Amino acid sequence: MFTKEVYVARRAALLAKMRAAGEKGIILLIGNAEAPAQYKDNCYKWRQDSTWLYYIGLDEPLMAAVLDIESGAETLYANDVDIDDIIWMGPQPSVRSKAESVGIGLTQPYSMLDTDVHAAQNIGRPIHYINPSRYFNTLRLMQLTGKENVADGASAPLTEAIISMRLVKQPEEIAAIDFACDLGYEMHSAARDAIKLGIVEQDIVGKMEAVALAKGWGVSFPTILTQHGETLHNHGHAAVIEPGKLMVIDAGVESNEHYASDFTRTYPTSGKYTTKQREIYQIVYDCNELAFSLAKPGITYRDVHLATARKMLEGLSALDLVHGDLDEMVAKGIAGLFQPHGLGHNMGLDVHDMEDLGENKVGYDPDQTRAKQLGLGSLRMARRLVPGHVITDEPGIYFIPALIEKFKKEGLGYDFVNYAKLESYYDFGGIRIEDDVLITADGARRLGSRRLPASPDDVEASMQK
Ligand code: GLY
Ligand code: MN
């Protein structure tokens, strides 16, 4: 947790934004509850709601808060423990002391939340809430507001105010993300050092996730570790490591403070890239470097995505896998055949920060619309960059036989794509290189104190050690 003053200032800023927008009524924030995995007392690993963590900081289940836009009163709703709780969980601090630890003046039992929200509703006060990230909170909001469709009733001004604050990371958050990235570095190094022919992928996953659990909260999303990188989110780890393959490792640590890291590296399982692998790797590496060099305040990440798409097509042209005018190919979305995802996303308390509030609301400026094209259409962060944005830089090239065949069958890209040569890449797999990047006052810097080896030479050298 940060200091009390951080949470007090964040809530004050949120209330001020709502007042400045002419809003009245109350802001209702709901923390997560325990979620049973098999039965009531055997739950999924506890994880607090990220917006709750941002404004309230208390990392415990079954809490809610009401912030009164007009009076500024702040109330924490939570239950003090009784003797049964003490038997199972030990003594706990009082709700009042928890509230005080984050600068909240008033407390009420959790059951009073319904009474107070209904009372506000009955006198016509607007109830501002955000789209809930969990089903339990959807049900709670249905009970509290009487709305059938909770998502449609989410407050646009509140959502906008929260996004505007969480998108621009504060210095203490940047330090927390740097730390999560240092843990990510350590986890990825353990993974790289564990790559060995003949072992099962799961062996490596166990070794790397041990770092995440020993030094942080755990992984920030289910680890992707696969010799089939062309399957973008492959969560199976049963395969034996074979010679001559490419292994994509896309994984992050969530720190104890709940800030994420998210890195991807692609290793040659035999320790050296083949010529064919190196040629493609170099293109992806060049795209990653180009994106980093372009990322600075004022440019949109959409334009950075498009610049890397052009660079990718230039590299693929040199290998005679595509041919034609680069700008025309970019406009026609030919890069999407090779990289059917976006260049990156926002990152913070969530690895894809705030996507529960709406991908487009988080990743797109009001004057931007999301493209439909394959690749560009999956871009989750398109905004004009400002200092404090934390984004990922993760270009990739994948040879997905089913997708290439579909393009071919539908006659797509016939003027540009060398389908005959592409067939020799059907067993290639995929390559992705991902770093986490902070936009600074005049440019950008990669997060974490050290960068994982990324150039083909550096990756090979790191595998020799
Ligand atoms: N690194 C996983 C993702 O960005 O989806
Ligand atoms: Mn990512």
Ligand 1 atom at minimum distance from 252 CA: 1
Q: Which atom of ligand 1 is nearest to the CA of 352?
A: 4
Instruction: Give the whole-number percent of the chain exceeding pLDDT 70.
Output: 100
Output the pLDDT for position 394: 98
The atom number, within ligand 1, closest to the CA of 394 reads 4
Whole-angstrom Cα distance, residue 102 to residue 383? 32
**Closest to 445 (Cα-Cα) out of 360, 379, 385:** 385
Atom of ligand 1 nearest to the CA of 232: 5
Query: What pLDDT, on a 0 to 100 scale, did the predictor assign at position 235?
Result: 83
For residue 420, the surrounding DSSP H or E stretch is helix 419-422
Ligand 1 binding pocket (C-beta < 6 A) is 221, 250, 262, 345
Q: Are 36 and 42 in contact (CB under 8 A)?
A: yes
Which residue, by CA, sits nearest to atom 2 of ligand 1?
Answer: 250
CA proximity to 431, closest of 460, 461, 406, 394:
394
Prediction pTM value: 0.97
- Could you report the per-residue pLDDT of 177-214, keeping only the tens digit for each? 999 999 999 999 999 999 999 999 999 999 999 999 99
Cα 91 to middle of ligand 2, angstroms: 40
Strands (E), 72-199: 74-77, 106-108, 127-128
pLDDT tens column, 236-281? 899 999 999 999 999 999 999 999 999 999 999 999 999 999 999 9
57: left (phi over 0), alpha (psi -120 to 50) or beta: left
Burial letters 411-436, b for 16+ CB under 10 A, else e = ebbeebbeeeebeebeebbbbbbbbb
Confidence of residue 234 (pLDDT cuts 50, 70, 90): confident
pLDDT at 313 over 90: yes
Mutate which of 394, 398, 436 for ligand 1? The one with the most ligand atoms within 8 Å of its CB, which is: 394
Residue in this structure with the two tokens 């036989």, named with its chain if needed = 401
**Which ligand has the nearest atom to the CA of 220?**
1
Confidence (pLDDT) at 465: 80
pLDDT per position as a tens digit, 51-84: 999 999 999 999 999 999 999 999 999 999 999 9
Ligand nearest to the CA of 235: 1
DSSP 59-105: --SS-EEEEETTT--EEEE-PPP-HHHHHHH-----HHHHHHHTT--
Identify the band that residue 429 occupies on the pLDDT scale cut at 50, 70 and 90.
Answer: very high
Percent of the chain with pLDDT over 90: 98
